[in-house]
Amino acid sequence: MPAFGDLLTGDQITSLVRYIRGLCQDRAWAVGELNLPRPLVTEKAFPENETILTSNIGRAAQGGRGHDSVTALQYERRFGATNQIEILVPFAVAHDQSGTAQRGVGDAEFGLKHVLFSNPRSGSIVSALGVVTLPAGNSDKGLGTGTTIFEANVTFGQLFPGSAFLQGQGGLEQGANRDLAPRAGFIRLAGGKSFSADGGLGRMWSPMLELIANHDFVTDGSTDVDLVPEIQVTLSQRQHVRALVGVQLPVTDHRERPKQVGFYLLWDWFDGSLFGGWR
């Protein structure tokens, strides 16, 4: 099939997209503009059909030698207009103070996301997310917590003019055994802006900065604050395969908490096969 090239102007393409969208009268579906770039830590509010391979690597904490890492495969599947299930299975490498490495499966996560509100005119979307983490990892080897953890949080996304955006997440988590996993709260914010080539049809770069705060609700509990500068880039021409790299920098207690390098490879399989849409 021959390419259409510049047969349609930008205004004509916009009019065509508006017409096609008008054929769907179910407003429960969030529009694609609210599918903002995925940060490294902060959860998106938009429900997706994605598979993500994520890895975080950092120096072993608490005087250990070597580098600890967690590599996770996450599967997300949308069902209905407003719901998504997600499954995450990690593989962890932990070093003790002697430098001996322990390797194995970490604690597995199962989550359910539901869109509470979305408005294409204001560029806003809000979702609720519940997560259950099962103790699949060996806690004696430092690969897991040893208890089931329950988490509930709310996420939001806000799109601004000029492809700028802000995303946020706040929630609570608690272990079935509070001695192993006490109650904790967290707040995450991620702001950024996307830059696209060729009128939005070429490669897209999305630099972001995340602010992460975690607090344990125990006696003399501390608050850990991190900054994560990062950048996401589309790899395929269809923009359904993307990569991100970032550095998690401790702001508080940075001598005891080492910095980490994180990256992911994301495949939005709803938009095409892994090897399709590259040219």
| pLDDT tens figures, 93-140 | 887 776 788 889 999 999 999 999 999 999 999 999 999 999 998 888
Domain count across the chain: 1
The Cα 55–Cα 209 span in angstroms is: 18
Q: Is the pLDDT of residue 2 over 60?
A: no
- Whether 279 is covered by a domain: the verdict is no
Question: Given a cut of 90, is residue 63 above it in pLDDT?
Answer: no
Instruction: Give the range among 1-5, 129-133, 149-153, 253-257 with minimum mean pLDDT.
Output: 1-5
Lowest mean pLDDT of 15-24, 81-90, 155-164, name the range. Answer: 15-24
Question: pLDDT (tens digit, 9 = 90+) per residue, 174-200?
Answer: 999 999 999 999 999 999 999 987 766
Confidence class for position 168, pLDDT limits 50, 70, 90? very high
pLDDT of residue 1: 45
Assign 25 a pLDDT band (cuts: 50, 70, 90): low
Does 242 fall in a domain?
A: yes
* pLDDT value at 75 more than 50: yes
CA distance 33 to 45: 12
Q: What percent of the chain has pLDDT over 90?
A: 64
Q: Is residue 3 assigned to a domain? A: no
| Pairwise CA distance, residues 47 & 85, whole Å | 9
| Most confident segment among 103-107, 155-159, 220-224 | 155-159
The percent of residues in the chain predicted with pLDDT above 70, rounded, is: 90
Q: Which domain holds residue 248?
A: 10-35+42-271
Q: Is there a domain that residue 121 lies in? A: yes
Q: What is the CATH number of the domain that holds 207?
A: 2.40.160.40
72: confidence class by pLDDT, cuts 50, 70, 90: very high
In a domain, 148, yes or no: yes
| 2 within a domain of the structure (yes/no) | no
Residue 278 domain-assigned (yes or no): no
* Dist. CA 196–CA 45, nearest whole Å: 22
Residue 164 lies in a domain: yes
